[in-house]
Amino acid sequence: MIGDGYWSSGIMVTYQQASQGWLASARFYDDGFGRSDADTGEISTIGVLNSRYFIRDGHQHDGLTAVIDTVKADAERLGIAWRDPALFVPGDGSDLQQPLPADWRSLLDGHAPRLGWENPDDIRHPDVVVQLTGEDGNAFAILGTVRRALHQAGHADDAAEFFAEATSGDYDHLLRTCMRWVTVR
């Protein structure tokens, strides 16, 4: 067991067309986010737990369910807690280097409630579209882009709430919050 104090924000699933299989991974963090002091030895750490192979559908079970359930169970056996967990795909499905099956969104929609996790498709302002892929990945640049887009779309009254939520966690939390508030490309 890794022990108390490690947490994850969800599971990232990746599809490989060549094998028609799924891989799942959970990035986990210690509670020392933001600490990096060589003098005291307080240095934050992260880790990744992922399936070793891309898993195809079996005769009785589908590969996506199998990898999600395996990574989730292994993370919990290691003592990793879930904080506002969700299911994700790289680039929210817009990564041309990693194409997804046509029904990928409905597949994830079916798994999120089964796990008791949030559905990343519940976008608060789907009419607000921001381009983050291929742009500056700096957290402050992302915050500014989304806040400006909310203001320009007439949702200025929500900008402060978005900012407070987006800055209440780590970088993954920031990205998840953006995807919950606006349509991210």
Would you place residue 72 in the very low, low, confident or very high pLDDT band (cuts 50, 70, 90)?
Answer: very high
| Residue 151 CB neighbour total at 10 angstroms | 14
> Is 23's pLDDT higher than 90?
yes
Distance CA 42, CA 1 (A): 21
Distance CA 33, CA 9 (A): 14
Confidence at residue 32, expressed as pLDDT on a 0 to 100 scale = 63
Alpha helices, H only, 37-138: 63-77, 104-115
For the whole prediction, is pTM greater than 0.75? Answer: no
> Is 97's pLDDT higher than 80?
no
* CB-based contact 140:159 (threshold 8 Å): no
> Is 135's pLDDT higher than 70?
no
Domain segments of the chain: what residues? 6-115, 125-184
The amino acid at residue 79 is G
What mean pLDDT is predicted for residues 38-53? 85
50 by Cβ neighbours in 10 Å (0-12 / 13-18 / 19+) ranks as middle
104-121 pLDDT, tens digit per residue, is 888 888 888 889 886 655
The CA-atom distances, in angstroms, between 64 and each of 55, 91, 108 are 7, 18, 9
* CB-based contact 86:176 (threshold 8 Å): yes
More confidently predicted of 77 and 110:
77
